[in-house]
Amino acid sequence: NAGVMQNPRHLVRRRGQEARLRCSPMKGHSHVYWYRQLPEEGLKFMVYLQKENIIDESGMPKERFSAEFPKEGPSILRIQQVVRGDSAAYFCASSPQGDSTDTQYFGPGTRLTVL
Amino acid sequence: GDSVTQMEGPVTLSEEAFLTINCTYTATGYPSLFWYVQYPGEGLQLLLKATKADDKGSNKGFEATYRKETTSFHLEKGSVQVSDSAVYFCARTEGGSEKLVFGKGMKLTVNP
């Protein structure tokens, strides 16, 4: 049973470009979470999605960031017009039921570098 | 607000030493508590969890007990190995939701 898949593992963008990060949850999981890890920091929650629905986006910056989890295909975290401060590791996690006692299973992360 | 405070380190130990990593939290209600471990260049892996007061989570020789009275979830291991070198994160659910609030992480290096 494959774990949470994320791609690309490393992404380099110049300021002003767009970054698209993909996450495929574990088989049978319909709840996806995105977290950001800045250098020397813990992970910060960004957004929680179910299929075709954004449940909680309280951690998303108000501008340039968006997320989706379509009926078919992976969840996408999109960052438009990237800036150097967006450089971070972005982790996706999935869980089967979205219950607060559920374990969230994390992917290997995408390390975004903005030049 | 809701938060997680843990020892930040970095900490260096010799093999077979005793390990304690303190973690305390502030909360409304009764969150679930987790310890995650991050090996170099990898994502987070669940180490153990506890979902209610007095529960003890254990895995790979690590243990942590959910202490409601002290709002703590300290991680312990009696004898660390070189392979335990990693960053350890304490985390809790936020309110009644599913999202996790993480501590800043503690880097552990175990020398032979």
pLDDT digits (tens, 9 = 90+) for A62-105: 999 999 999 999 999 999 999 999 999 999 999 987 676 778 99
For residue range B8-23, list pLDDT tens digits in order: 889 999 999 999 999 9
Interchain pair B32, A107: CB under 8 A:
no
Strand partners, B11: B108
B104/B42: higher pLDDT: B104
Residue A85 DSSP SS3: helix
A4–B contact, CB cutoff 8 A: yes
What is the tens place of the pLDDT at every residue in B64-97? 999 999 999 999 999 999 999 999 999 998 766 7
* Chain B residue whose CA is closest to A102: B98
How many contacts does A have with B, using Cβ atoms within 8 A?
65
**B106 Cβ contact list (under 8 Å, min separation 6):** B6, B7, B8, B9, B10, B11, B21, B87, B88, B89
A7 has pLDDT over 60: yes
One-letter amino acid at B97 equals S
Report the gap between the CA of B46 and the closest CA in chain A (Å): 7
pLDDT reported for residue A106: 93
Cα–Cα distance measured from residue B80 to residue B17, given in angstroms and rounded to the nearest whole number = 6
Q: Is A96 on the interface with B (CB under 8 A)?
A: no
Query: What single string gives the DSSP state of each residue in B9-74?
Result: --EEEETT--EEE-EEEE-SS---EEEEEE-TTS-EEEEEEE-STT-EEEETTEEEE-BTTTTB--
Q: Which of residues 11-70 of A touch B (CB under 8 A)?
A: 31, 33, 35, 40-45, 48, 56, 59
Tokens standing for residue B84: 């335990």
* Residue tagged 């999981």 (tokens): A29
Confidence at residue A63, expressed as pLDDT on a 0 to 100 scale: 94
Chain B residue numbers touching A41 (CB-CB < 8 A): 104-105
Please tell me which of the candidates A42, A48, A105 has its beta carbon nearest to residue B98: A48
